[in-house]
Amino acid sequence: MSTPLVDALVARFGADAVKVAQPRGEVTLEVSPTAWLETASALRDDFGFDTFIDLCGVDYLGYGNDEWDSTEASWHGFGRGAEGYGPGRFNWGEEPSHQAASTAGIAPDQRPTRRFAVVMQLLSIQHNQRLTLRCFAPDDGLPVVPSVTGIWRGADWFEREAFDLYGVIFEGHPDLRRILTDYGFVGHPFRKDFPLIGNVEVRYDPERKRVVYEPVTSVTPRVGVARAIRDDSRFPTASEESGHRLLDREDRR
């Protein structure tokens, strides 16, 4: 899809960096951490993206893995639950996994070559255009991306949130510390390998007369829905049910 914005971005940053999502024509510009600040400055000064909208972290662990080996609907619904340790099913220290259709067993989620990313949403009021800017951290063990607070001061708390929830270090941030979790919190709760039950539980100890933190013992890993997004099953399900009702009528006759 060719638009004046896409053509200008391709001419400046190269065709490999520009991605257009169809059918809505959403434009994403993906750059390396070394070009993160230079690109952000160019988008603000040369392309008119003067308004910072949002910044967040993304964890691509398990991206593209389904929790079910089959997503086909039937008239009687799904016959069994998913196997594996998907979100909500694993304890602290365990690795998320999924059900493998080929072996009907459990396989660990694939580790992506680039796991952690930082995504920004920018707006050009002058040109009435929106743009997504994305950068993958080069090291999954210690994801580091330059801070854009020197370009958009409004990114301050957004970067603190991404640090708190995903563990992304924003180099050059003036005050990088947790913003949502409690003091002394261990881990980063939006990472895909962080258990939904957490790592500690809090209770009031009547003998000590204070709140104490202990390893999780009273919470069982559980999940309400699978993480795979399926097609709407109402229509094939209704078709199957209608067929079975017709067969039942014929049998009663």
Distances in Å between the Cα of 15 and the Cα atoms of 9, 19, 118 are: 8, 8, 20
Q: Is the pLDDT at 181 greater than 70, yes or no?
A: yes
Mean pLDDT of 35-47: 97
**Cα 187–Cα 172–Cα 170 angle in degrees, nearest 5:** 30
* pLDDT for the residue numbered 203: 86
Mean pLDDT of 75-86: 51
On whether the CB atoms of residues 195 and 95 are closer than 8 A, the answer is no
Count Cβ atoms below 10 Å from residue 206 Cβ, excluding itself.
7
- Write the pLDDT tens digit of every residue in 113-169: 889 999 999 999 999 999 999 999 999 999 999 999 999 999 999 999 999 999 999
Handedness of CA 97, 99, 105, 110 (dihedral sign): negative
- What pTM does this model have? 0.74
- Which domains, ranges and CATH numbers included, belong to the chain? 4-61+112-191 (3.30.460.80)
**How far apart (Å, rounded) are the C-alpha atoms in residues 62 and 81?**
19
Q: Is the pLDDT at 198 greater than 50, yes or no?
A: yes
* pLDDT for the residue numbered 78: 44
Q: 100, 99, 74, 73: which is closest to 86 by C-alpha?
A: 99
Query: What is the per-residue DSSP string for 147-165?
Result: --TTT-GGGHHHHHHHHHH
Q: Share the mean pLDDT of the chain.
A: 81
Instruction: List, in sequence order, the alpha helices (H) in the chain.
Output: 4-13, 36-45, 156-166, 234-252
* pLDDT for the residue numbered 253: 60
Q: 189, 43, 178, 193: which is closest to 120 by C-alpha?
A: 43
Mean pLDDT of 178-183: 90
Give the pair of three-digit tokens for residue 60.
Answer: 């691509």
Torsion, Cα 237 238 241 247, to 10 degrees, reads -130
* pLDDT for the residue numbered 224: 58
Mean pLDDT of 64-70: 57
